[in-house]
Amino acid sequence: MKAFEYAAPSTKEQAVALLGDRWEEAAILAGGTDLLSCMKDNLMAPSRVVDIKGLRDLGGIEYNPQSGLRLGALVTFEQLREHPQVLSRYPGIVQAVEGVTSAQIRNRGSVGGDLNQRPRCWYYRNGFGLLAKDEQGRSLVVDGENRYHAILGNEGPAYFVNPSSLAPVLIALGARVRLFGPKGGRELPLEKFFTIPKTDSEHENVLQPNEILTEVLIPAGSWQTATYEVRQKEALDWPLAAASVALKLGGAQVQEARVVLGHVAPIPWRVPEAEKILTRKTITEEIAMEAGKAAVGQARPLSQNGYKVQLARVAVKRALLRAVQGGA
Amino acid sequence: MPEYRWPEIGTTSLIGKRINRVDGPEKVTGRAKYTYDLKRPGMLYGKMLRCPHAHARILSIDTSEAEKLSGVAAVHIVQEPGTEIQWAGDDVVAVAAVTEQITEDAIRRIKVEYEKLPHLVREEDLAKAGDRVKPFTEQVTGDPDQAFQAADTVVVEGEYGLPVVTHCCLEVHGQVAEWEGDRVTIYPSIQGVERVAGQYAQALGVPASNVRTLMQYVGGGFGSKVAADRWGTACAQLAKKAGKPVRLMLERKEDQEVAGNRPSDFARIKLAATRDGTITAWQSESWGTGGPGGGGSPPIPYIWQIPNQRKIHSAIATNCGPARAWRAPNHPQACYLTMCPIDDLAAKLNMDPLDLVVKNVSLLGPRAELYRQELAKAAELMEWKKNWHPRGDRSPGPMKRGMGLSLHTWGGGGHSSECQVSIHPDGSVEVSLCTQDIGTGTRTVLTIVTAETLGLPVEAIRLNIGDNRLPPSGNSGGSTTVGGVSSSTRRAALNALEQLFLTVAPSLGVSPEQLEAVGGQIRVKGDPTKSLSWKQATAKLGVASIKEMGKQPGPQPNPGELTSSGVGGVQMADVSVDVETGVVKVNKIVAVQDCGLIIDMKTAESQVYGALIMGICYSLMEERVMDQLTGRMLNANMEFYKLAGLADIGELVVHMWTDPEQQRRGVIGLGEPPVISPGAVIANAVASAIGVRVPYLPLTPPRVLAALEKGGMV
Ligand SMILES: Cc1cc2nc3c(=O)[nH]c(=O)nc-3n(C[C@H](O)[C@H](O)[C@H](O)COP(=O)(O)OP(=O)(O)OC[C@H]3O[C@@H](n4cnc5c(N)ncnc54)[C@H](O)[C@@H]3O)c2cc1C
């Protein structure tokens, strides 16, 4: 790990002033569960670490039936899981949180950190670069070990999957994010926050090196949500594929549906093809299966990850059934 | 001379009972200090610059920038320019500095030029291994060609395999080295405190008498911690150069890449039986890698004496970290490669595999009858006959359930060991021997043996281990420790007791042979009114302590001796498979295990529980993923090198076989055998659930789904 300066500002203005114009200058520290691993592995070597845990207005969960749900960036997984309204109204969020089976990470990991964590691609984490290329510029992933890589949005040069478990369900709920930078704040749909980098120096989202993600806003609305993750094991691990759905129901009929896949593409992957199938339908096993099929219609697996197509299909089906049945 | 036997069955107050691990409180409170925890005065932190290439020649090394860095105390070149490196991660330059961070910074400043050489790091495809294939000679028994063609013969053919897995010791490899003049003390994390001292002496060029090795606790070894290792010697060199103690522990990533692994094995296997289920012939073409040296050949067909056999094995030399003994070396592979085809044969014969195994039990040699009984016990605990169904669970829904079985064997005879038992005039008792407790319960067992022999409670015994100045008692490997050290301790304790009897007999007015030590007393056999308390008795020693040695020569072949060799067991698994996702969950594993006389039932069962957990890990999750393009291990961490957590384990039922005949066999090792069968039982259970063989471990979702697609039930 490179030696660094540690700063602990108490306002977001101070924090932003401590950040730099380039990623190498400074990094934001929230729970540190990802940042510190990246620094220890020399994937990130910021000269300054800006600890934002002292920024009061970045905390807190507020629910209001008129305005919806507001999550401060510093809210932890565990706080989400314990919040009465999140528990009762947003089971899809809780299911995503509970997939993270480490108490330590749930206690420490934050919403802002989850949305900004770096990909777990094993080439990237072993120091072969975000886009994992050999000396000739060829992708290591395409001809290499790609069992955990992307099946969608993988035209290249990025093949990693977005690691966030919260992003799919938040996008399904139409969440917006607020960013704060030297010129003040800006707000955008979370769906538009994530981007697929084309070069090694780009990141996986629109955040600028001197910006902070300050909060997540979920508009009011009565959505049935569910998340289904396919995990090989129950102890701490990453999903092989996941789906989050949000359904607006009129009686048993779907008025509007949002279906978002996780861990299958370099960004959380919204699938309008599946949403279309669900509109004005009653969710049955058959419809759910059809939506699952449609969700992976565009999938183009790499040499070793064809199985993820099946897993994503099943995840959509099971998430939909879970959303209408509640519980399991 | 006393008679060196174990107490009569049924007469013991401690042996065979369920007794808590004596060092449990030390461990759970953190008072137990492992090598990783040690902090010697002025200690420096050592680290290793490692080769990033799988195969390369070192052209030049420039350490000047590192040496200039303030805080750097020593730099030691481990492999000189010109050396050909055979695996990524091999040691090149060691550095010690005042903090870990400075050491890392220094390492980054070292410039090494390499000439990259062609590498091979994947071996599962024999056709791609080219000149790296080193074939062994073909072995033929009986007339396999004739047997496979005989009328009324049913033949199964298939490919099976297990990848390289690593040891994943909770504590990584490493040591602290500290010099005082020309004497060096090493605090290793090791399975052989005594043996490693000699290795250090040789490598450092100092007299053996100048090396002291000390270790109280080690966070696992599983076969991977039996040598000083190049990084150990380098650590001592750094300490010498710096004139200060140095601690050099491997990073987890390094531990995964270079500190040992279990060789892979793949095989094309043909197995034949007559239509009534009598196994007649075996044919195998197998291959695997143990790293640059290629590796050995698995003992297949495992434990079955099949009359007609043809087999050929090839070792593949790869540019990967070399293999080391991994809990029951070669047995888990051989067992898997044998018990899976047998299960497939049963399916083809439309037989319950339990019936097939029982029908052929005579092919299991001298242990056949015991296996038959153990199979019956396991079947009872699993309710096998009630739950078994022909291949492929036909019940509705995506969750399919199935069961599998397997059996295994191991040696485990005690190694040679020397022990000293001292009885002091104040009544205190000391047991001293240079063994180590690698988590297997050695401390507890030795304490129990001494306490039982002297008629004292376990708290009365003080045990000294983990110091090479104590009487030599060998490495902990091959499950040979418990048989050896319990026997030498029993001998020493009996010898010491005999001396005590000699001293106190006159005061009780009897001859020494008439005395016994029971319940904290020395008393006259048959006349409990004539007795002395332990303290009264030892007070009669005056000022001279009793110090008696016990020497165990090694395993003893005859029944009734202190230790013998040869154990076995039967396991059965019940699993559920989600056929839509390929996710496998273990519902239950039953393990029936024999291991001679059991000293502590609790720590014995613990060994089996631990082995089953390790077995679930390597069956469902573990795999070293090597990348042919970069030559690196991609999952050298605890994240994508997957291990089970509690929720992944299921119910474990352990039944220790303790009939009188077993107990008369003396103490036999148990650490390794129960880890042999899990691969086969879990894989066979999956085949039973989904109706198709998933040929390769670990049984991951992609593999299960691929097998289903090829010919499963959905
Ligand atoms: C073995 C393992 C398994 C895991 N499994 C899962 C899983 O299944 N699903 C899942 O979602 N996660 C999983 N996690 C990841 C975990 O959820 C993240 O590490 C955590 O959410 C990050 O939050 P943090 O507060 O610790 O972030 P930090 O480590 O502090 O920061 C992470 C990154 O985000 C940036 N950052 C943090 N906060 C902000 C902000 N407010 N604005 C802008 N940038 C910011 C940091 O600069 C850094 O680059 C797993 C982690 C591990 C180690």
Please answer yes or no on whether A307 and B705 come within 8 Å at the CB atom.
Answer: yes
Please answer yes or no on whether A314 and B581 come within 8 Å at the CB atom.
Answer: yes
Instruction: State percent of chain B over pLDDT 90.
Output: 97
Distance CA A57, CA A15 (A): 12
- Could you tell me how far CA A200 lies from the centroid of its own chain? 20
Q: Is the pTM of this model over 0.80?
A: yes
Examine the pLDDT at A39 and tell me if it is beyond 60: yes
Res B713: pLDDT: 47
Same fold, B35-118+168-258 and B413-552: yes
Mean pLDDT of B392-404: 97
List pLDDT tens digits, range B421-454. Answer: 999 999 999 999 999 999 999 999 999 999 999 9
Mean pLDDT of B629-652: 97
Res B576: pLDDT: 98
Shortest CA gap B596–chain A (Å): 36
Examine the pLDDT at A327 and tell me if it is beyond 50: no
Examine the pLDDT at B295 and tell me if it is beyond 90: no
DSSP class of B433? -
- Beta-carbon contacts of B452 under 8 Å, excluding residues fewer than 6 positions away, are B7, B12, B13, B14, B15
If one compares B303 and A325, the residue with the highest pLDDT of the two is: B303
Distance CA A217, CA A317 (A): 27
Please answer yes or no on whether A120 and B639 come within 8 Å at the CB atom.
Answer: yes
CATH of B35-118+168-258, one of 3.40.50.2020, 3.40.800.10, 3.30.70.260, 3.30.365.10: 3.30.365.10
Here the tokens at position A75 are 């809210």
Res B101: pLDDT: 92
Model confidence at B605, in pLDDT bands (50, 70, 90)? very high
Domain B326-411+566-711 has CATH 3.30.360.10: no
Please answer yes or no on whether B642 and A126 come within 8 Å at the CB atom.
Answer: no
Mean pLDDT of B72-89: 98
* CA-based nearest residue in chain A for residue B616: A233
Q: Taken in order A292, A297, A298, A301, is the CA torsion positive or negative?
A: positive
Angle made by CA atoms A310, A315, A319, in degrees to the nearest 5: 155
Span from the CA of A109 to the centroid of ligand 1 (angstroms):
6
Contacts 24+ apart (CB under 8 A), A280-286: A280/A253, A280/A254, A280/A255, A281/A253, A281/A254, A282/A252, A282/A253, A282/A254, A283/A247, A283/A252, A283/A254, A283/A320, A283/A321, A283/A323, A283/A324, A285/A317, A285/A321
The SS3 of residue A69 is strand
Residues in B touching A304 (Cβ below 8 Å): 702
Residues A47/A70, Cβ–Cβ less than 8 Å: no
Q: How large is the greatest C-alpha to C-alpha distance in chain B, in angstroms?
A: 84
Could you state, in order of their start, the residue ranges of all structural domains in chain B?
35-118+168-258, 326-411+566-711, 413-552
Res A2: pLDDT: 83
Res A328: pLDDT: 37
Neighbours of A4 (CB within 10 A): 15
Q: Is B592 exposed, middle or buried (0-12, 13-18, 19+ CB in 10 A)?
A: buried
Any atom of ligand 1 within 6 Å of the Cβ of A105: yes
Topology of the domain comprising B413-552: Aldehyde Oxidoreductase; domain 4 (3.30.365)
Q: Is B305 exposed, middle or buried (0-12, 13-18, 19+ CB in 10 A)?
A: middle
List pLDDT tens digits, range A269-318. Answer: 999 999 999 999 999 999 999 999 999 999 999 999 999 999 999 999 99
Chain B positions contacting chain A at CB under 8 Å are: 101, 104-105, 580-583, 620-621, 625, 627-630, 632, 634-637, 639-640, 642-648, 700-702, 705-706
Shortest CA gap B650–chain A (Å): 11
Mean pLDDT of B562-575: 96
Shortest CA gap A313–chain B (Å): 9
Model confidence at B399, in pLDDT bands (50, 70, 90)? very high
Domains, in order of start, for chain A: 5-55 (3.30.43.10)
Res B714: pLDDT: 41
Average pLDDT score over chain B: 97
Average pLDDT score over chain A: 96
Any atom of ligand 1 within 6 Å of the Cβ of A41: no
Shortest CA gap A152–chain B (Å): 17
List pLDDT tens digits, range B186-215. Answer: 999 999 999 999 999 999 999 999 999 999
Examine the pLDDT at B712 and tell me if it is beyond 60: no
Write the residue in A3, A122, A234 that is nearest to B101 by C-beta.
A3
Examine the pLDDT at A326 and tell me if it is beyond 70: no
Helix (H) or strand (E) holding B339: helix B331-348
Examine the pLDDT at B391 and tell me if it is beyond 70: yes
This complex has an ipTM of 0.97
Number of residues assigned to chain A: 328
Position in ligand 1 atom list of the atom nearest CA A213: 42
The SS3 of residue B665 is coil
Residues in A touching B45 (Cβ below 8 Å): none
Model confidence at B554, in pLDDT bands (50, 70, 90)? confident
Position in ligand 1 atom list of the atom nearest CA A35: 29
